[in-house]
Structure 1
Amino acid sequence: MSTVVSDSMVIGPGPGTDGPSVNGPVSMMSGQTEVEFAKCDCCGLTEECTLAYIETIRERYCGKWICGLCSEAVKDETLRSPKLISPDEALARHISFCSKFRASGPPEDPTVHLIRAMRQVFRKSLDSPKSTRSLPSSPTNKRRDDLKGPVFARSESCMSSLTLVESPVYCGVDEGCE
């Protein structure tokens, strides 16, 4: 992990460490805002956040700090579930998924791993409720059969015919307009 430090903020070392600690009392002062490093309890991502934000997230997720991406995954888990589940149950499912993912170790072939992950995302998106997907804006052939009444076919362009008006503005340099 690399840390970029500007002149306006100071990072103090963590207790008993040489560098900044995660989820510890180490804070950064940027103006009047105290910032702390927080590690996601699901995926392990480390972010720097204000203390007030960290407290709000921990209150929302039973004392666990969850990054924004995992928070969205937990929301998606509650919506995607066929039966109504609590946010705590969705969080437990997501933590279980993340722990299985991290336990598998790094992939032997990252390309194959990415393809498998995208296939899994695609399959989950197909399994999600159809109400959350957007519908195409133009009707398909299947929908045309459902339309009531006569359907008019367009026989010519909708644009009206334009007549060229002779004007000095439209005349070429070599041409005379008279």
Structure 2
Amino acid sequence: MSFMYNSFIPEGAKIEEEAGMSTIISDSMVITPGPDGPVNMISGQSEVDFAKCDCCGLTEECTLSYIETIRERYGGKWICGLCAEAVKDEILRSQKLISPDEAMARHFSFCNKFRASSPPEDPTVHLIRAMRHVLRKGLESPKSMRSMPSSPTNLRRDNMKRAVFTRSDSCMSSLTLGDSSV
């Protein structure tokens, strides 16, 4: 068993191999394989456990104190980092002020709809529709949430003519740059 994470081996550590098993010896840590695989024995490391997100089902390995903190924050439910960000985004995107519980209920509903749906018939079309949905949601969000465009459209708006894309009349569709005053 020569599988090792070289990035986790401290400088100056000795690696001893015996009967296909590796032991890393360092001043700060000792990593030896146990009966179920490698075991970390780092001084001061807290006990870890696996927690499954009550919303999306993602399983994360976290310390027990962190799991307890998250459960206290979300009313006894374990919410993964992705879903926590989605709940925050739901609060910020809402036109009216909503509570974290309402935002969590909306996100739970979204996740349940997603899990209940069957796999798409055509994954390409599904991806295109999903990206269109993301784009529409992004355009519907308050302007303060979106970043400023890189072009200087906000400067001297009265003096600038806005360019628009128009469709050509040929049988081969193409985009041409037109004048907005037309």
> Structure 2 length normalisation: TM-score?
0.61
**Residue of structure 2 equivalent to 1:132:** 145
1:33 and 2:34 aligned? no
**Residues 29 and 35 of structure 1 are in contact (CA less than 8 Å); yes or no, is this contact kept in structure 2?**
no
Other-structure match for 1:174 = none
Q: 2:82 aligned with 1:69, yes or no?
A: yes
- Aligned match for 1:119, one of 113, 122, 132: 132
Structure 1: gaps of 5 or more residues: 14-27, 148-178
Q: Helix, strand or coil for the counterpart of 1:144?
A: coil
Contact 1:42 1:70 in 2 (8 A): yes
> How far off is 1:137 after superposition?
4.7
Higher relative contact order (CA 8 A, sep 6+): 1
Task: Pick the aligned partner of 1:144 from 122, 134, 156.
Answer: 156
How far did residue 29 of structure 1 move?
6.0
Query: Structure 1 residues 47, 81: CA separation in 2 closer, same or farther (over 3 Å shift)?
Result: same
For residue 87 of structure 1, what is the aligned residue in structure 2? 100
SS in 2 for 1:44: coil
User: Partners of 2:68 and 2:134 in 1: how far apart?
Assistant: 31
* Deviation per residue, 1:70-111 (Å, 9 max, x gap): 100000000111110000110011001100100013222222
Paired residues in the alignment total: 129
Q: Would you say 1:52 and 2:49 are equivalent positions?
A: no
Over residues 104-162 of structure 1, what are the superposed CA-to-partner deviations in whole Å (9 max), with x where a residue is unaligned? 1322222222221111111100000011212235423x743547xxxxxxxxxxxxxxx
* 8 Å CA contact retained: 1:78, 1:90: yes
For the pair shown, the structure with the greater C-alpha radius of gyration is: 1
1:112 is aligned with what amino acid? Answer: V
Give the gaps of 5 or more residues in structure 2. Answer: 6-22, 24-30, 160-182
Are 1:106 and 2:116 an aligned pair? Answer: no
- The Cα RMSD (Å) is 2.8
When residues 10 and 45 of structure 1 are mapped into structure 2, their CA distance, relative to the original with a 3 A threshold, is farther
Matched letter for residue 111 of structure 1:
T
Q: What is the deviation of 1:11?
A: 8.8
% identical aligned pairs: 73
Deviations 1:41-81 (A, max 9, x none): 11111111111111111111111111111100000000111
Q: Which aligned segments of 4 or more residues in structure 1 are displaced greater than 3 angstroms?
A: 4-13
